[in-house]
Structure 1
Amino acid sequence: MEKPKEFLENFAIEGLDRVSRLNFPPHRPHIDSSFYEYFVLRGIRVDRVQPGSITCSFKVPHRLTNKDGNLVPGAIATMVDELGAAVIHVEGQPMDVSIDMSINYLATAKIGDELEITSRVLGRKGNYSGTIVLIRNKATGEVVAEGRHSLFSKPASKM
């Protein structure tokens, strides 16, 4: 029992040291991106915006990979959440609230891989919207992940 405890204690100290060296701007709610958004989404380039569709490019950075050099699932989940919401967002309106998200992780992406991320609106009914986000390796065409995202928008005030 001592070996696992020692490993976890050392890992926690090393992790704390790494986190303390991170440098990011202070968060101003509703003005700036949160730390999580800033950390994961930094480097995404919007290539094309059409009604109901957004296509982006992203080169996998070292900061979002595990010890094997693979893009971590949490970064993929953040991309599905953010880009699924972005495709239905209306400027000047509050961001929609995520209701449900499901992600199929189908392949790995490595440091330096160029990814193409496509977000499309599946449909809308009242204040409910559904989107799909497809993350594909640009070089091989292989699908890395597919996410479906359900969102709810705040109803307009009747006052």
Structure 2
Amino acid sequence: MNLELVKQYLEGDKKDEDESKVANLPPRFIERFVAKGIKVDLIEPGRIVCSMKVQPHLLEEIEIESKALRVGKAVAVVSVELRKKKDGKLIAQGRHTKYLAPRSKL
């Protein structure tokens, strides 16, 4: 897996910031829509560290760190931590378990 391509996908294209997003929505647009504004600080196999600016009324940058705890044939488990970028204080922590459906052979 090319980690640089993953980083480019998450951060989005710099050139398309001024274009109409509605006219150019990719088939899985919600992923990029939710991730808009994310800056990838570190990417390595099984781990991504991102940062983003939160709503203007908070005037604070946060850091998002996610780790793949387990990736099997049928289930994947991911841990996510949100911290204040300035002092590293933990804001929120979450864990996500996802069923990995087998790909169709058709």
Fold shared by both chains (TM-score > 0.5): yes
Show the 5 A alignment for 1:111-150. 111-150=58-97
Q: Which secondary structure state, in structure 1, belongs to the residue aligned with residue 78 of structure 2?
A: strand
Paired residue for 2:102? 155
CA distance in 2, matches of 1:41, 1:115: 14
Show the 5 A alignment for 1:6-155. 25-26=21-22, 28=25, 30-33=27-30, 38=33, 40-62=34-56, 69=57, 111-155=58-102
CA distance in 2, matches of 1:139, 1:32: 31
Give 1 or 2: higher strand fraction: 2
CA distance in 2, matches of 1:59, 1:29: 24
- 48 and 124 in structure 1: CA distance in 2 versus 1, 3 angstrom threshold: same
Superposed CA deviations along residues 78-114 of structure 1, whole A, max 9, x for unmatched, are: xxxxxxxxxxxxxxxxxxxxxxxxxxxxxxxxx2211
TM-score, normalized by length of structure 1?
Answer: 0.47
Q: Which secondary structure state, in structure 2, belongs to the residue aligned with residue 33 of structure 1?
A: helix
Instruction: Report the number of matched residues.
Output: 86
Cα distance, 1:123 vs structure 2: 0.7
Superposed CA deviations along residues 28-86 of structure 1, whole A, max 9, x for unmatched, are: 4625337xx52x53211011110000011112133xxxxxx4xxxxxxxxxxxxxxxxx
- In the alignment, structure 1 segments of 5+ residues that lack a partner are 1-23, 63-68, 70-110
Amino acid of the structure 2 residue aligned with 1:30: P
TM-score, normalized by length of structure 2?
Answer: 0.67
Give 1 or 2: higher helix fraction: 1
Runs of 4+ in 1 over 6 A off after TM superposition: none
**Higher RCO (CA 8 Å, separation ≥ 6 residues):** 1
- CA-based RMSD of the aligned residues comes to 2.3
Bigger-Rg structure (1/2): 1
